[in-house]
Structure 1
Amino acid sequence: MKTQILATLENAKQYTLAVADGMPAEHYHFKPASEVWDFNELMHHIGYGIYWWEENLIRQQESDWQPPKVTSSKKQTIAYLEKAFDFLKQQVETMAGDKTAIQGFHATIDHITHHRGQATIHLRCKGIEPPAYRY
């Protein structure tokens, strides 16, 4: 079970980083509509969400939603995402295989997928073809 979870996580990491890398640095603050996050904010949200969802749903330690200041550049945001994914991998490697932790992991992955899908729309709005879906 843990092998499959780690494979799912690695796939999510690599695909998310490919989406993040697909947007040129000069368009990281692009937003397709005024009421949505720009690309950078969206990618940063994915990173923070990994930490929050892991704490609240995998470890079941309730905490408030208090995201840090949004990173300001493509390079910083990609580094933040990499660090968040690496943190989650460390937690998965040591997590108990109980039903609650596994459900929390899948909820975390679902959150990543949800917002990564939004990020692909940002890319398309800039005329950039998103990286091919990986599974």
Structure 2
Amino acid sequence: MKKQLLAKLENSKTYILAVANGMPAAHYDFRPTKEVWSFRELMHHIGYGIHWFKATLIEKEEPAWEPPAVTADKNTTIAWLEAAFAALENTVDKMGKDEASIVGFFGTLDHITHHRGQATTYLRCKGITPPEYIF
């Protein structure tokens, strides 16, 4: 089971990094409307969400919702995402087979997928074809 979970995680990481890399650095502060996050803020939120959901749903901690300052640019945002995925991979590698942890893992992936879908729309708004979906 762990092998399959890690494969799903790797797939998600590969795709979100392709989406993050697809937006030119000059457009990282783009937002389709004033009411929504910029692309950079959205990517940062995905990274923070990984850390928070991992702690809450998998490790059964009760962290406060205290997102750090948004990353400064494309490179630091991508590094932030990579670190978040590495932390989640480490947790999954040590995770037991209990149902709550597995449900928590998929809850974390669901959050990533939700916001990644938004990010692909941001790319389209800038005339950029999103990377091919990886399944």
Q: Which residue of 1 aligns with 2:109?
A: 109
Q: Which residue of 1 aligns with 2:56?
A: 56
Structure 2 counterparts to residues 84-123 of structure 1, below 5 A: 84-123=84-123
Structure 2 counterparts to residues 120-131 of structure 1, below 5 A: 120-131=120-131
Q: Deviations over 1:57-77 (max 9, x none)?
A: 011111111000000100000
Q: Which residue of 2 aligns with 1:23?
A: 23
Structure 2: segments with no counterpart, 5+ residues: none
Aligned-residue CA RMSD in angstroms? 0.4
Structure 2 counterparts to residues 3-82 of structure 1, below 5 A: 3-82=3-82
Q: CA deviation at 1:15?
A: 0.1
TM-score by length of 2: 0.99
Q: CA deviation at 1:33?
A: 0.5
What amino acid maps onto 1:99 in structure 2? E
What amino acid maps onto 1:16 in structure 2? I
Q: CA deviation at 1:81?
A: 0.2
What amino acid maps onto 1:112 in structure 2? I
Report the count of equivalent residues.
135
Secondary structure of the residue aligned to 1:44 is: helix
Aligned-partner Cα distance in 2 for 1:107–1:33:
28
Aligned-partner Cα distance in 2 for 1:71–1:30:
14
